[in-house]
Structure 1
Amino acid sequence: MADTVNSLVARVHELLVALGTSGPTAASTAGLHDVVARATALGPDGTWLVAAGETSLGVLAVAHGQADQAVYHLDAAVAAGLNDCVMFHAAPFRPLHYDPRFQALYQRMRITEADLDELFWLHQEMRLMARDAENAMVDNIGRLDSGVSVLPQAPIPTREPHTLGILIARIDLAATQTALQQAALKLDFQRSSGNTSLSLIDDSWDYTRARRDARHADDLDSQRLRAAEARAFVERPGAGTTLLPCPPLGSITYPA
């Protein structure tokens, strides 16, 4: 079957979810290189997916402390359309701020005010999703009911971006959401299965508390759902649409 933009988007998402749930593997690295090659073959329509693959390879290199490889892949990503100046202010990238090669590739990026607003939101949402997942896991410790909580997600923005680099960050958020939801569900199913087994073999199981735990969990789920819906991205009126250099390197505070 011939590759399409949509099929490669799905493949990138799949690889990023695998990285988020299982960590880096030789297979995931090979998969990203394969995405770059296949996206290149698509021509101009696939250029931003080349950037997506190169970005992920650069992120992996940063995580392993491989500065030369990181700069190589990130330079290729910027050449293909990466302009995520917010990501470049996350803690793992800060040591690269002193590298002239990294400074040079950063200075080549261009973005609009409106797209920069969305980048801040996308990265903030990744942080909030991780926090929600952690809180949900803590809240579910000791639950005696057999229910399962689904981690709510804020909707991915659907506005037409001015730069295709925004699509890369959207895939990152979507993959983060999926990976965190899968991890939360796995733990919840383990707890639920254990409680179901107890209900079958142990007459001392506390049904009253289980019902109370279920109601409390439903309340928390509703609160998280409302909070996620309220976090939906809203485009700022009057946000600029002119391509501008990214804010100076070191001037952005990465979302906490």
Structure 2
Amino acid sequence: MAAPPDDSDGTATPPKASSDAKHRATPVKQPSYTREGITYRQLPAWHDANTLYEFRREHGKSQYNVVSDAKAHFKKLEAGSISVWAAYDGKTLVGLVSAEATSEYRTRNGKGRPWAIGHLVVRASHRRKGVGSALCRLAAALLLAGNQQCAEVYAAVHADDEVAIATFARAGFEELVTHADYQRGRDATVFRKRREGGVPTAAAKPPAPPRPKPKAEVVPRWQRDYAEGRPVYSVARDSYPGGEPRDGAS
């Protein structure tokens, strides 16, 4: 979780004019809503990753968190491999949460590719006011509703971090397990939020129409008579094919 005040206005640094950054000049409207004076919104891919990293580094350090990989993490925003949601009090950034697709978590009967919460930071002056849980709730809702391959969102926190545990519980995540996380040298408590019904399946294709039956073979009468051992009469040329022979025909 997070700490001391921040003087950042939370806005992206205007890009320099260059061909490789041309797309940054086009603003993209992202999902947002306002609750109790705090505006929550998803950040666009062109948002300045360094601003997010500095906020994480200055306000997210605690005995339970490390930020060594945060810069590389936020650089993924422009590539589209992570998503970030932020909370603003006026123009001041007061909280953020990020998430990315992962293969680290998956239940045995899970479907689709799970996502995991990467970093959750709330400014000290806005903690215990529901900002963190609102961010997590928004992130999970948009991922589960907007990403058709995402059916599960996970989060892992230090098992002793009671504030973080309460935050995810209020956001509607279910507690799954606490285990020894040897990679990070801690006991970690894992939470999950999933879409009801799992990943939507494509509508069943209609069955292929039956193949048309081949046309019945028309066998001339004289061939039928010959096959059945009956006398075969020659048919006059001007008689109807297959009809009775004319009088006097042999």
Same fold (TM over 0.5): no
Q: TM-score range by the shorter chain?
A: under 0.3
TM-score (norm 2): 0.26
Structure with bigger RCO (C-alpha 8 Å, 6+ apart): 1
Q: Which structure shows the bigger proportion of residues in strand conformation?
A: 2
Larger radius of gyration: 2
TM-score (norm 1): 0.26
Q: Which structure shows the bigger proportion of residues in helix conformation?
A: 1
